[in-house]
Amino acid sequence: MSKARLLGFACCLLAGMAVWLTQPRTAPGVFVPFVADVTAATQPVEAAKPETAPVPQAAASTAEQVRDSSATKPAVQTLSNHVTVLRVAGTINPATADFITEGLDQARDQGAGLVIIELDTPGGLDTSMRSIVRGILASPVPVAGFVSPAGARAASAGAFILYASHVAAMTPASNLGAASPVSIGTPSATGGQDTEKEKDTGKKSDGDTMTRKVTNDAAAYIRSLAQLRGRNADFAEKAVVEATSLSSVEALKDGVIDLVATNVPDLLSKLDGRQIKMDDGTMVKLNTANPEINYIEPDLRTQFLTLIANPQVAVMLMMVGIYGLFFELLSPGGMLPGVAGLISLLLAMYAFQLMPVSWSGVGLIAAGTTMMIAEVFLPSFGALGIGGIIAFVLGGLMLTDTGIQAYDLSLPFIVGVAVSSAALIFIAGGFALRSRQREVVTGKEQMVGSEGVVTFLSNGKQYADVRGESWQVRGDRPLAVGERVRVEALNGLVLQVVSLDRVVAPAQSVGGA
């Protein structure tokens, strides 16, 4: 491979990595303090405070008292009957956060009177969940969180979103809770399970400080949301600390949710005329008797980001990227493997940025793949190949540790990819080494031994058709048009040939004599 081509690929890779590194990012999987001022939202607005001027008379009439008390009540605004429904199914990730926040902005611009977020999620990332909660708290349009359809759940991050909504509803046979946080890269020494000593004493070990910090932070966060919406704060805290869950009937009985509905039309019929106090202190009245419902589904961009924001897809993209660059370097000029590999590798890096991954795991996966490739070219007698497989498996185990099935790599998947990768690289390397040991069948060496036919003579020069091309030929004697010749050597652009017809004829005459 030429140095220019190798330099070009290296420049493209470095440019892509530079673009990726300059993108703003947060640290997903690590809980950060809640920045929204939820206590300020609970304070009454200044305009709603009663006048404190002294009363000139000792006694006021009943009419004046009624008039004064009515003046302190905020006016109730009836909203439009336009309803926007956002459907969320699957894990909460950056793509989901963008979808919901954009949906809230679209509902505000269209003058919607209510936004319904249909939830069916096992949980997701802390940063994405907090982004959604901030969008709900800042929304001028009332938001109803609805765990739907029947059999759905709002676990982990979904419980926070439901508690942040102005109205919380569930379908029958649904559940919510189990909101214990898991911080990436800081697993507890007991693997998430309390030891017998901790169960007896009711205390955590000192080595579990980070887990207690993020757990207490999440508990305070969801408790503040429960206090803001007037819901059961005790269960909210237990959902985080003890990972408890409730069914829809139990949640309604314990004051965790506001109502139970079978579907969206049933929910809207039960919400008609309901008064909601917004975060700025104003009172609004829902008008959902004859609603105009606008269902918003995730677009192609959201679906694509959701697809690649999956550890298994990201690992496969990374492997395709490494394979593509490997085959391009092995057989320069194909271009397609190199271009596809570079694009896949950059997509994998972007996907890893979206997910709560350990970059030590990413590095081990890359190092393991590199060692398996190096095994093909270096005489390490299997040391590099075996070490590469071990590094790949360890990197896959370290890559994620969220406790969420959709964000964790299973051991069979990791081992399967590692063995398949090693087999593919070894097979490709074996073919490459065998091809290097064969005779060269292209270029100058390809012409020697080829046969052709003399086509024409011009100005003392002789030309023959060899391998479909017209070549100037030179023999040890003059040649005639139509003679068959065989190439013996190549001198510049002139073929040194011998005549096949004249080789046979003298031999016959000699034998006859």
Active-site annotation, residues: 156, 213
Element (H, E) at 472: strand 469-474
Walk across the sheet containing 245-247 and list its strands: 153-155, 175-177, 245-247
Residue 286 backbone phi and psi in degrees, to 5: -75, 140
Which structure tokens are listed for 259? 């109502």
Angle at 86 between CA 402 and CA 301, to 5 degrees: 70
Query: Is 120 within 8 Å of 88 (Cβ atoms)?
Result: yes
Residue 92 backbone phi and psi in degrees, to 5: -90, 115
- Per DSSP, helices labelled H in 121-274 are 126-138, 157-164, 196-201, 209-229, 233-241, 248-253, 264-271
How many residues would you count in the chain? 513
**CA distance between the termini of the chain:** 59
The helix/strand/coil state of 488 is strand
65 burial via Cβ count (<10 Å: 0-12, 13-18, 19+): exposed
d(CA 91, CA 305): 12
What residue has token string 């004064």? 68
How far lies 29's CA from each of 123, 224, 354, in Å?
12, 21, 10
The helix/strand/coil state of 170 is strand
Which structure tokens are listed for 490? 């190549």
Please, which contacts does 299-306 make with residues 24 or more away whose CB atoms are closer than 8 Å? Answer: 299/99, 301/95, 302/95, 302/96, 302/98, 302/99, 303/95, 305/93, 305/94, 305/95, 305/98, 305/354, 306/90, 306/93, 306/95, 306/96
Query: Is 300 within 8 Å of 310 (Cβ atoms)?
Result: no
Cis amide leading into 265 (omega within 30) = no
| Helix, strand and coil in the chain, % to nearest 5 | 50, 15, 35
Using the Cα atoms of residue 96, residue 19, residue 344 and residue 370 in order, give the sign of their dihedral.
negative
Give the count of alpha carbons within 13 A of 181, CB side only.
30
How far lies 119's CA from each of 146, 249, 488, in Å?
6, 17, 79
